[in-house]
């Protein structure tokens, strides 16, 4: 799976047409850039400062975006913000990219150019794409619980990964986490609480958070859990300290 050497090698105008350079031609607007075998992306040369987003950050990141429900909704609700979904599986990534293209087509490319998806392993290559202290919010929704103890190191919340998340989040940026697996939830919260760069947002503040409310009414996983009367476990974590200052 190709990946950029660093964020300078990413041409974000391929993913968010018109936000990182001139509006592409009509023909180019219909091309998919997903980082799959059928729709590859080349990361061989450094891009211009404008195209690589030195002055225009990605705002919201959905880690493991699945079939993209949250990505579409954030794109619709926040047209002046950029939402990126990262998904390691090829079929869901392709599904999301094609659905975004359909939304763009329906609006004559006036909407949904502010959301996109890339197929990559976010746990490995997050820092190759996202610049330091640029994200306002990160979403981790219904991550794989990896029940077997031998697979716990593959969970999306770990001490090492939290340091990466702190690196890409702005100070006072939030991580939104939700799962229907209590053991996974308690393990994640424990790791959040012992990391010096994060603090749990109070329940009172959480209830007034518009992003937090989205967690419960957007994704298919959440709707299914509510339909089956399953308990959902959620937390909002605030990045309080810049990694560069340590």
Positions at the binding site for S-adenosyl-L-methionine:
64, 87-88, 121-122, 141, 219-221
Q: DSSP letter at 220?
A: H
d(CA 186, CA 163): 19
Long-range contacts of 214-218 (CB under 8 A, 24+ apart): 214/70, 214/73, 214/74, 215/139, 215/141, 215/176, 215/178, 216/178, 218/69, 218/70, 218/73
- Please give the order of strands across the beta sheet that includes 233-239: 115-119, 83-87, 60-63, 135-141, 169-179, 233-239, 198-200
Is 180 labeled as catalytic in the residue annotation?
A: no
d(CA 113, CA 49): 20
Active-site option among 59, 80, 144, 159 = 144
Contact yes or no for 137/215 (Cβ under 8 A): no
Active site residues: 144
């Amino acid at each position: 799976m190709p990946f950029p050497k660093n964020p300078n090698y990413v041409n974000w105008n391929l993913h968010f047409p018109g936000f990182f350079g001139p509006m592409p031609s009509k023909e180019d607007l219909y091309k998919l850039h997903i980082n799959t075998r059928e729709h590859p992306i080349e990361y061989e040369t450094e891009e211009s400062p404008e195209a690589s987003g030195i002055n225009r950050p990605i705002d919201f990141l959905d880690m493991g975006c699945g079939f993209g429900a949250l990505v579409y909704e954030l794109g619709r609700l926040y047209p002046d913000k950029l939402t990126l979904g990262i998904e390691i599986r090829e079929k869901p990534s392709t599904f999301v990219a094609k659905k975004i293209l359909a939304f763009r087509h329906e609006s004559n490319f006036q909407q949904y150019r502010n959301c996109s998806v890339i197929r990559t392993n976010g746990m490995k290559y997050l820092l190759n794409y996202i610049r330091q202290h640029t994200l306002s919010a990160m979403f981790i929704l219904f991550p794989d619980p990896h029940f077997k103890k031998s697979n716990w190191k593959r969970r999306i919340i770990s001490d090492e990964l939290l340091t990466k998340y702190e690196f890409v989040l702005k100070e006072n940026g939030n991580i939104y986490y939700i799962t229907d697996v209590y053991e996974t939830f308690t393990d994640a919260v424990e790791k959040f609480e012992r990391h010096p760069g994060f603090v749990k947002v109070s329940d009172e503040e959480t209830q007034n958070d518009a992003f937090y409310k989205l967690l419960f009414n957007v994704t298919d996983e959440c709707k299914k859990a509510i339909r089956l009367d399953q308990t959902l476990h959620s937390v909002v974590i605030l990045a309080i300290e810049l990694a560069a200052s340590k």
